[in-house]
Structure 1
Amino acid sequence: MRKNSIKNTRVNGEVQRELSNIIRGEIKDPRINPMTSIVAVEVSPDLKMCKAYISVLGDEKSQEDTIKGLRSAEGYIRTKLAKAINLRNTPEIKFVLDQSIEYGVNMSKIIADINQKDSKAEDDYNE
């Protein structure tokens, strides 16, 4: 993976902030879950492409509907982004579902269950 320049890091942060504002405040699509957040944004150095990693709190159907809603609103989001951020090129946005938070929560539950079973087994052994 290539190291980001300071300019690219700043552009990523600004695009992430504006995308969050647009999705939270301006899109009225009922498919988009209100508990949607932008986890990370990667804008290419030539400012042509942008990957936005989306996290949705909810079940699998809610996640799929949110991604479909965002993909159908890509043109509108790109127009709003162009008005909010003055860049040479407004990047084409690709939304990617990020399930790392959900994965982390599931792993924490599994570890807690194992620790609980382990301490229960140890208590039974000591008796």
Structure 2
Amino acid sequence: MARNTHHTGPGPSQRQLRVGEVIRRALSEVLARGDIHDPDLNRLSITVGEVTASPDLKIATAYVCPLGGEGQEDVLKLLARNKGELRRIIGRKTSLKYAPDLRFRIDETFDRLDETRRLFSDEKVQHDLTRSDAAPTDTAEDPAGE
């Protein structure tokens, strides 16, 4: 019986997740150690938040964020300019049969976290949160019910 090799579920397969994490670790290490021959790229501190692999594992998209979040477009240009060297290094550092083509995108997770924190610190939200936390204890200690 032939085995179904196509992933039909809504999310990535275990293999895609595993390959993405292997590449994320290797890419993070390479960028942290400054193993690239580009001084402009080596002087930057770049966080690799996640790497997603395509179903055929031929393309890996790395979600990156420069330290402080500034100069995002410059970081993307530098990474794109050095993607051939990064791909070769990743191929050597990992046990993957083929090193995928690398794509780079800005990781917006931190921006969403900041926005969530801002919302939770809003006075109206804090009032609603403390009111809903206090509501169960207030009704349990209702003096009129004694």
Q: Smaller-chain TM-score range?
A: 0.7 to 0.9
**Structure 2 portions without partners, runs of 5+:** 1-8, 128-146
1:76 alignment partner, one of 85, 106, 111: 85
- Residue identity opposite 1:8 in structure 2: Q
1:18 alignment partner, one of 20, 26, 51: 26
State which structure, 1 or 2, has the greater radius of gyration over its C-alpha atoms.
Answer: 2
How far is 1:48 from its partner?
1.0
Whose RCO is larger (CA < 8 A, sep 6+)?
1
How far is 1:41 from its partner?
0.8
**Structure 1 portions without partners, runs of 5+:** 119-127
Closer, same or farther: CA 112–5 of 1 in aligned 2, 3 Å: same
Closer, same or farther: CA 43–116 of 1 in aligned 2, 3 Å: closer
2:125, 2:11 → 1: CA distance? 42
How far is 1:31 from its partner?
4.7
State percent identity of aligned pairs: 26
| Structure 1 length-normalised TM | 0.76
1:44 alignment partner, one of 54, 66, 77: 54
Aligned length: 118
1:2 alignment partner, one of 6, 10, 30: 10
Counterpart for residue 92 of structure 1 = 101
Q: Deviation per CA, 1:74-96, whole angstroms, max 9, x where unpaired?
A: 01100101111232321000000
